[in-house]
Structure 1
Amino acid sequence: MTSVTKAAESEAYLKYKDPKLPINRRINDLLGRMTLAEKIGQMAQLDLENLTATTMRDYSIGSILSGGGHVPRLRATAGDWINKVNELQRASLSSRLGIPMIYGVDAVHGHNNVYKATIFPHNVGLGATRDKELVKRIGAATALEVRATGINYAFAPCIAVCRDPRWGRCYESYSEDPNVVIEMTDIILGLQGEPPANARKGVPYLGGRDKVAACAKHFVGDGGTTKGINENNTVIDWHGLLSIHMPAYYHAIIKGVNTVMVSYSSLNGKKMHANRDLVTGFLKNTLKFRGFVISDWQGVDKITDLPHSNYSDSLLAAIQAGIDMVMIPHNHTEFIDILTDHVNNNRIPVSRIDDAVQRILRVKFVMGLFEEPLADQTFVNQLGSQEHRDLAREAVRKSLVLLKNGETSDRPIIPLPKKASRILVAGTHANNLGYQCGGWSLTWQGFSGDNQTIGSTILSGIEEAVDPSTEILYSENPDPAFVKSSNFSYAIVVVGEPPYAETNGDSLNLTIAEPGPSVIADVCGQVKCVVVLVSGRPLVIEPYLPSVDAFVAAWLPGSEAGHGVADVLFGDYGFTGKLSMTWFRTVDQLPMNVGDAHYDPLFPFGFGLSTVPINAGLD
């Protein structure tokens, strides 16, 4: 071989590593060098719990995720995360072609699975703010906290349109109204950065190392399942799908979203993970989405509407449908062997594999991973920073919805006086950081108590807000005789739902968990009281309203709930939140959404009383 030939080969080898070349040229150069095994490895996403560096190197695995609660170690620091991410990234770089991996995490309301991270209100609360600029700032803050741990991919935002609060994922939805959800897709601009004005529609975008790849999910119709049953069937005509569940995806794609995750649910009896007409036909071909499509956690395994279904058949259907990356997350060898067999036996054409890998590589090139694959300490101080906690506090106060404030407008209870002789704070959710954060917080199903991360409980926020001369007594479940005899100036009762996620949150009765109703009855019958409801959705509250002087929907306000709730209860800021979901009277009315012919809510979509701040600037 001549020196000229060697030089030419060397130059050719470097094409996909050359940042000066157009991305499409780099993609094609790299794709042309890949074996079938390397291509299929790129289509796999494995979980941290079931992973070694050797696996990453030897199988050319394309991506890693940390499932809910899967961490390098208990109470892992940002440095621990960076070390683990870089260990696995170096393994990827040591593979034959040195293709870097993407690391994904469920950062759905902040970097919520990481110790000391800022946990923002869940989407149901953010929808009540109607503030897309706020949501964009939350996206930017979340991106910085995710990057602080060396991770570069967030499985957010969820842009489901929750049409039935019985659904256990309703708190992951911004609203029952697609127009509100469309506005909230501006969080993508915060997570990824704003594409230039001349950006081509559907092309993924990332604005720099302080940003992360986003993921619009779950495509499509997951918020419209029958009776709100998680992963169930959504029955809807084409017009309804396009007008209710699809619009936010169109806007997410315009904003350059890098990835789209497919829903567990079915559409008119067809599992979305096997729905070629919508995944390939509509999402890729009609909407011109050019990022990659990823399955949900073991979503391929759940394709059960095929005759004699098994994993091989399900995987065949999913890849044919247009899924590019499969969240396995455990048995990668089975996935690789089966998919290889499908290709070798012409059940899946190589062109379909190439399409998937081109999309995955495009996102990796857009993210700059070939130039800067390793994480460093640049953003470590962003994790749980005071600036982000202040932003979360702002989000809390803007998300709270005041449903009742005295019997008439000229006799309001809120703002509450900071100076009082004695205040009672009661209820299961008043002094429980985990309860106010909800599911997808430190672990998949959330947690109970105050010792698993950093934040302010509602009780601590009240204690800091009131005048030093004011005595505060706290009792989770006080005796009514004690309440009656203690001469309280007023009481604040904080009750709600315990944490849950996904199917564990499905509910047919939507009641406040005991002893919440008992505490309301025992306290509010004895003393002037404000009830603060911590929940992922509207619940049955009509029976309690007559005995309650003021009622606040606090949703799942996150780690900074204490200060944010106190800000508006005591008048430092006014209430501004508006319902983004219809508040029903009884569950027998469900599903019921604004615009329905027989719309008879307890509180309609868009309802929310306002208050005027009286203590602004007085600390």
Structure 2
Amino acid sequence: MPAYLNAIEKGVSTVMVSYSSWNGVKMHSNHKLITGYLKNKLNFTGFVISDYDGLDRITTPWGANYTYSVLTGILAGIDMVMVPFNYTIFIDTLTSLVNQKYVPMTRIDDAVRRILRVKFTAGLFEHPNANYSLVNQLGSQEHRDLAREAVRKTLVLLKNGKSDQTPLLPLSKKAGKILVAGTHADDLGNQCGGWTITWQGQSGNNETIGTTILDGIKKTVDPTTQVVYNENPDSNFVKSGQFSYAIVLVGEPPYAEFVGDNLNDLKILEPGPAIITNVCGSVKCVVVLITGRPVVIEPYVPMVDALVAGWLPGTEGQGVADVLFGDHGFTGKLSRTWFKTVDQLPMNVGDSHYDPAVVVVVEVVVVAFSPSPSNWWSMLN
């Protein structure tokens, strides 16, 4: 619980309960963790809110015994309930449970006290409406520059070179002709993933504004370098193109929450695998994975020269190009081991069945001075 303790010490005001279960107990009904641990042991003084329709999901099927769900959730320690539709039923149900003394007024008083404390502290009674004075800064260049920096710092180098003598990265900016391919090369929606303007997000460049990774590449390379973009080239096109190297950007379509659940698979959808095969089987290539999580990549690792976890870089695709071409070095690290197959899960360093999917190939260079980030890669070469 270190992250929670740190947040509570910093004064976080609200905690949302998740849909998940712990040892078979739905979190929305877990008195031991919500009240016993969060409120009592960690001394959390803010309020606990349910997730969207969270009480309904305590039972299987959802909403099978709504009275039981309300009773269990409130007694577990939930102070504010997110009811998106039938809120009058919730109010009537909880009122009845209080009148029948199944829910004591001390529990209601505790919830109300916590909610009012947060609202008073936030100044909502004095200033109930949003402050629009900073709206003109949303999406400002300063914000985009910070987002671009975040992209650079989160990229993870998974492989660099088919042997330790032949690293591909950083890429040359002065190559004669390069190929950029893949479903995620010129698609802001795919870069951003879910919760972008809409809940699930949407592929394409119509939902928001920003810089695609393709645009970032074009802005980074030398003016004399020819950048050819082909989303899904066949092998003949690649072989006949006389490309110095290729950048392949593939990954997952946008999704949010349970819509993206697919633990039994976690594979890159077509045409992603075909693009990797067609391109990397014909020319030196770096594959950048645009995903919200690790995916199965083991079948493709041997054929690629370099492999990068790009995650979801959002609107600032220039940050990906910054690192691929060596203006900044790789600094991101995996928080957990990247698996070969989903059958290995859960797996992490130290487990008896530890068998990671990729091994990073890096060069270690000792220098007698401190280079600036802008020329770090050039000195490695």
Q: What TM-score results when the alignment is normalised by the length of structure 1?
A: 0.57
- Please show how residues 98-497 of structure 1 align to structure 2 within 5 Å: 246-304=1-59, 309-497=64-252
Change (3 A) 1:369 1:401: same
1:30-62 alpha-carbon deviations (Å, 9 max, x no partner): xxxxxxxxxxxxxxxxxxxxxxxxxxxxxxxxx
- 2:344 matches 1:589: yes
1:317-338 alpha-carbon deviations (Å, 9 max, x no partner): 1111110000001122111111
2: CA distance, partners of 1:274 / 1:514: 40
- 2:293 matches 1:537: yes
SS in 2 for 1:257: coil
Deviation at 1:397, TM superposition (A): 0.7
SS in 1 for 2:35: helix
1:401-439 alpha-carbon deviations (Å, 9 max, x no partner): 111111333422111111122111001111111111112
Is contact 1:579-1:608 (8 Å) kept?
A: no
1: CA distance, partners of 2:377 / 2:131: 40
- 2:256 matches 1:501: yes
2: CA distance, partners of 1:343 / 1:336: 11
Which residue of the partner structure matches residue 181 of structure 1? none
2: CA distance, partners of 1:324 / 1:587: 38
Change (3 A) 1:506 1:376: closer
- 2:278 matches 1:522: yes
Is contact 2:301-2:358 (8 Å) kept?
A: no
1:248-268 alpha-carbon deviations (Å, 9 max, x no partner): 222221221111111212222
SS in 2 for 1:404: strand
Is contact 2:344-2:353 (8 Å) kept?
A: no
Deviation at 1:289, TM superposition (A): 0.8
Residue 304 of structure 2 aligns with an amino acid whose one-letter code is: V
Which residue of the partner structure matches residue 314 of structure 2? 558
Uncovered stretches (5+) of structure 2, i.e. residues with no partner: 365-370
Quote the RMSD (CA, aligned, Å). 2.1
2: CA distance, partners of 1:596 / 1:256: 36
Report how many aligned residue pairs link the two structures.
369
Deviation at 1:367, TM superposition (A): 0.8
Is contact 2:177-2:228 (8 Å) kept?
A: yes
- 2:331 matches 1:576: yes
1:345-391 alpha-carbon deviations (Å, 9 max, x no partner): 21111111110010001111111222322234310122111111101
2: CA distance, partners of 1:608 / 1:565: 19
2: CA distance, partners of 1:274 / 1:316: 9
Change (3 A) 1:616 1:372: farther
1:567-609 alpha-carbon deviations (Å, 9 max, x no partner): 01111111111111211122221111223232221247xx685
1: CA distance, partners of 2:294 / 2:160: 18
SS in 2 for 1:566: helix
SS in 2 for 1:472: strand
Is contact 1:276-1:320 (8 Å) kept?
A: yes
Residue 460 of structure 1 aligns with an amino acid whose one-letter code is: D
Which residue of the partner structure matches residue 120 of structure 1? none
Change (3 A) 1:610 1:442: farther
SS in 2 for 1:327: coil
2: CA distance, partners of 1:420 / 1:305: 59
Residue 602 of structure 1 aligns with an amino acid whose one-letter code is: A
Which residue of the partner structure matches residue 210 of structure 1? none
SS in 1 for 2:148: helix
Q: What TM-score results when the alignment is normalised by the length of structure 2?
A: 0.92
1: CA distance, partners of 2:37 / 2:85: 30
1:54-99 alpha-carbon deviations (Å, 9 max, x no partner): xxxxxxxxxxxxxxxxxxxxxxxxxxxxxxxxxxxxxxxxxxxxxx
Which residue of the partner structure matches residue 549 of structure 1? 305
2: CA distance, partners of 1:603 / 1:390: 31
